[in-house]
Amino acid sequence: MSKELKVKHIACIGAGYVGGPTMAVIAQKCPDIKVTVVDMNEQRIAAWNDANLDNLPIYEPGLAEVVAEARNRNLFFSTDVDGAIAAADMIFISVNTPTKTYGIGKGMAADLKYVELCARQIARVATSDKIVVEKSTLPVRTAQSIRTILDAENKGLQFQVLSNPEFLAEGTAVQDLHQPDRVLIGGGQDQAGQAAVQALVDIYARWVDRERIITTNVWSSELSKLTANAFLAQRVSSINAISALCEKSGADVDEIARAIGKDSRIGPKFLKASVGFGGSCFQKDILNLVYIARSYGLTEVADYWEQVIKMNDYQKRRFAENIVSKLFNTVSGKKIAILGWAFKKDTNDTRESAAIYVADYLLNEQAELWVYDPKVKAEQVYADLDYLNTRSEAENRRLVKVVNDPYQAMDDAHAVAILTEWDEFKTYDWQKVYEGMKKPAFLFDGRNVVSSPALLGLGFKYIGIGHCVS
């Protein structure tokens, strides 16, 4: 029997889209455990502590309620990283691991510098035994490096490193955390490792059925996260590949998705054809998987997964090219409304959003873009475009207007392009929109959200994904 460990104080480094909601739910479900979420970004911590819950740094349905229940009871947000590390017996590392932008593995490998910094900081500050939990998505075998750094200080302390990848999807984070399909915990196979695994199992078991809590070795856990994201992204690229074929052949991609999704071996989820997947994870994690496979000399494996990304790039480009070609091969000086900037509905996150790349393509063609998104702020839209470095910041501001009123964005436009599947788009007065637009009025629906027969009757030139053009 392994020695029983009871966790009393959790620290989490990184108050982002993963660390924030995850820790809020752990605190909500475990009122007897003190949970301190720390971040080096003062502004972000101030927003987490804002009395007005509308100002939380992350928009997620249901999150404000969870934070309201637990904050300042047993959930705390702070910039005192050293203090939180010192006090905690379990520390989650939830910092970002972006794709490297320099050196070896540039554009492919995950940049682990923040994770290493966390490990070094824990090693330096710790004066008691710690269980360190990898919450960030990490390449397989990262736990080994963390362990080596922790042990190098030689303080005579016991460190255990667990892998506990987070599978929440943005927009449904709170629901996914409350009712996860599974919780995955990887740990050392020796007695001390298993005791640490059990301590984390006991936390989740407060609200998750034990049969949904899977324990594995560390490497399987780390690689499962990359594999899950690769499989999910692959389904989107697969249906998107078929959407291109539908547009040529007269088949309808949504009908195909319905037909194949009924096969229980395939299943109905993640078969929605779109302008392309975005988000902070899919592309980054697949590039990382490809990089790892290549570094082991597994060329065929690497090429296989890389194709998922290539198909996604093709889909985004194809959508943008289609807009230009349908608008009589020129969009120069033409007003085009962009509805939706977030990478999916119900989030304010724009990382790797297809909208950024479609907009950039249209701006290269000198279009005049009017952007509306219900949750994304103007500064974010400009920051995303500036980050690409395709043109000057002044040019981006001259060519792109961000407005709070969708009707203003669409008024007098040559075309509307829907890039995020926000529910509110279905409820617009499309008759009024049509009347206000230049004719012919084009509607490019990158999410197939407003393709109702009533709409088609209004006179729009409607171009969805994976349908024959009307």
> By CB under 6 A, is residue 170 in contact with ligand UDX?
yes
Question: Measured between alpha carbons, how far is 93 from 88 in angstroms, rounded to an integer?
Answer: 13
> By CB under 6 A, is residue 160 in contact with ligand UDX?
no
342-361 residues in contact with ligand UDX (CB under 6 A) are 343-344
Write the DSSP assignment of 2-16 as a string of letters: PPP----EEEEE--S
The smaller minimum CB distance to ligand UDX, of residues 164 and 194, is found at: 164
Question: Measured between alpha carbons, how far is 87 from 360 in angstroms, rounded to an integer?
Answer: 47
**SS3 of residue 335 by DSSP:** strand
Q: How far is the CB of 366 from ligand UDX (least distance, A)?
A: 27
> By CB under 6 A, is residue 236 in contact with ligand UDX?
yes
Q: Which stretch binds ligand UDX (CB under 6 A): 29-37, 68-76, 177-185, 276-284?
A: 276-284
Size, binding site for ligand UDX by CB under 6 A: 39
3-42 residues in contact with ligand UDX (CB under 6 A) are 13-19, 39-41
Question: Measured between alpha carbons, how far is 198 from 188 in angstroms, rounded to an integer?
Answer: 11
> By CB under 6 A, is residue 314 in contact with ligand UDX?
no
The smaller minimum CB distance to ligand UDX, of residues 419 and 455, is found at: 419
SS3 readout for 113-139: HHHHHHHHHHHHHCCCCEEEEECCCCC
Q: Catalytic site residues?
A: 166, 225, 281
Q: How far is the CB of 420 from ligand UDX (least distance, A)?
A: 8
The smaller minimum CB distance to ligand UDX, of residues 277 and 425, is found at: 277
| Backbone dihedral region for residue 230 (phi beyond 0: left; psi -120 to 50: alpha; all else: beta) | alpha
The smaller minimum CB distance to ligand UDX, of residues 193 and 278, is found at: 278
Cβ atoms 438, 412 nearer than 8 A:
yes
The values of phi and psi at residue 132, to 5°, are: -105, 125
Of 303, 307, 161, the closest CA to residue 240 belongs to: 307
| Burial of 391: CB neighbours in 10 Å, binned 0-12, 13-18, 19+ | middle
The smaller minimum CB distance to ligand UDX, of residues 222 and 368, is found at: 222
135-154 residues in contact with ligand UDX (CB under 6 A) are 136-137
Residue nearest to ligand UDX (CB): 16
> What does the per-residue mask of binding to ligand UDX show for 47-76, with x meaning CB under 6 A?
------------------------------
Q: How far is CA 218 from CA 134, 251, 416, 463, in A?
A: 10, 45, 48, 47
The smaller minimum CB distance to ligand UDX, of residues 102 and 156, is found at: 102
Of 300, 353, 292, 341, the closest CA to residue 137 belongs to: 292
Question: Measured between alpha carbons, how far is 366 from 286 in angstroms, rounded to an integer?
Answer: 32
> By CB under 6 A, is residue 466 in contact with ligand UDX?
no
Q: How far is the CB of 275 from ligand UDX (least distance, A)?
A: 8
Q: Under the rule (CB under 6 A), what is the footprint of ligand UDX?
A: 13-19, 39-41, 44, 94-97, 114, 117, 136-137, 166-170, 229, 232, 236, 270-272, 274, 277-282, 343-344
